[in-house]
Amino acid sequence: MSDTVKILASDVNVFYDTKQALHDINIDIMDRQVTAFIGPSGCGKSTFLRCFNRMNDVIPSCRVDGHIMMGDENINDQALDPVFLRARVGMVFQKPNPFPKSIFENVAYGPRIHGLVTNKSEAEDIVVDSLKRSGLWNEVHDRLHDPATGLSGGQQQRLCIARAIAVQPEVLLMDEPCSALDPIATSIIEELINDLKDRFTIIIVTHSMQQAARVSQKTAYFHLGHLIEYGETKDVFTRPADPQTEAYISGKIG
């Protein structure tokens, strides 16, 4: 665990057409820690998460203002190539979304398009390494060329994690990665997140307070597009500074 700031977001405002989804968000994300975004649904967690890899660009009505600095680069600078950015900031989505191709192809795709591998054996090395890191290797090593869609939901989600880390990003964004999974698959992924934080800065959106408490070092509580509270996870959960946060974690909102 380190104490350096990885990403510094200041005065971030996000609009869908004229509707404002996020108001003046200021936050600093710590390097190689797990930061959890919690809050009632519709409060803007996903929207904010997508600011970090510019996935909001895909939504034509979406406009993002403000600075999101990673090192001395502004992620939100329109001159910055989002394709380059996404090689540094990977993403795992809410619903497992493997490509309808083989397991191998899923993991090898990222390194290949970025030119990180130039031949088959390099690709194999990366695939094996990523599958091992995502804890999937033992389950799939003998069927790497089977379609990924044949895996179980939990396996698919770990494959998506393997696919994301195969590009060796610095930051890993996860939008409710366990919401479509059963409790056992969920706990496997939580363990995985714990292992991965030594190498990656992880930001995870979750609707489960217990999950935030289990996996994260920092927690940010959002409400109606505002960042209400942000601090050490143990502080946020044991002595929330804001009454709204307290209401939420004690189950009165949500």
Partner 1 sequence: MNNPTDMLTAQQRQDIIRHSLQKRHKTERRLRWAGLTAITIAISFLVILISNIFLNGYTALLQSELQVEMTIPKAELVDENGDLDAARIMTFNWNGLVKKAFRKKFPDVKGMMDKRSLGDLVSDNAGYELRLQIEKNPELMEQNLFWIKTSDDVDMYMKGRLDASLPEKMRRLDDKQIGWVDQLKEVSEIRKVFNTGFFTTADSREPESAGILGAVVGSAMALMVTIILALPLAVMAAIYLEYFARPGRVTDLIEVNINNLAAVPSIVFGLLGLSVFLGFFNMPRSAPLVGGMVLALMTLPTIIIATRASIRAVPTSIRDAALGVGASRMQAALDHVLPQAAPGILTGTIIGIAQALGETAPLIMIGMVAFVVDVPTSITDPATALPVQIFIWSDSAERAFYERSSLAIMVLLVFLISMNLLAVILRRRYEKTW
Ligand X SMILES: Nc1ncnc2c1ncn2[C@@H]1O[C@H](COP(=O)(O)OP(=O)(O)O)[C@@H](O)[C@H]1O
Q: Which residues pair with 227 in a beta bridge?
A: 222
User: Min. distance of Cβ 238 from Mg ion in angstroms?
Assistant: 26
- Report DSSP state, residue 43: S
Residue 17 exposed, middle or buried by CB count within 10 Å (0-12, 13-18, 19+): exposed
Q: Sheet with 73-74: list strands edge to edge.
A: 19-30, 5-16, 62-70, 73-74
Q: Does 47 bind Mg ion (CB under 5 A)?
A: no
Q: Does 98 bind partner 1 (CB under 8 A)?
A: yes
Decide which of partner 1, ligand X, Mg ion, none touches 84; Cβ closer than 5 to 8 Å per partner kind.
partner 1
Query: Among 160, 174, 205, 249, which residue interacts with partner 1 (rule: CB under 8 A)?
Result: 160
Residues 25 and 231: their CA atoms lie apart, in Å, by 14
Q: Does 15 bind partner 1 (CB under 8 A)?
A: no
Hey, what are 252's tokens?
A: 């009165």
Looking at beta carbons only, is 45 or 86 nearer to ligand X?
Answer: 45
Residue numbers of the site for ligand X (CB under 6 A)?
Answer: 16, 21, 39, 41-47, 59, 61
User: Min. distance of Cβ 40 from ligand X in angstroms?
Assistant: 7
Gyration radius (Cα) of the chain, Å? 18
196 in Cβ contact with 216 (< 8 Å)? no
User: Min. distance of Cβ 249 from ligand X in angstroms?
Assistant: 16
Amino acid at position 22, single letter: L
Q: How big is the chain, counted in residues?
A: 254
Segment contacting partner 1 (CB under 8 A): 16-24, 93-101, 190-198, 199-207?
93-101
User: Min. distance of Cβ 89 from partner 1 in angstroms?
Assistant: 9
Helix axes 153-165, 183-196, angle to 10 degrees: 20
Query: Among 46, 76, 106, 233, which residue interacts with Mg ion (rule: CB under 5 A)?
Result: 46
Residues 33 and 199: their CA atoms lie apart, in Å, by 9
Decide which of Mg ion, partner 1, ligand X, none touches 47; Cβ closer than 5 to 8 Å per partner kind.
ligand X
Q: Does 206 bind Mg ion (CB under 5 A)?
A: no
Cα 170 to the chain's mean position, in Å?
Answer: 11
Q: What is the binding site for partner 1 (CB under 8 A)?
A: 53, 55, 58, 60, 83-87, 90-93, 95, 97-100, 109-110, 113-114, 160, 163-164, 166-167
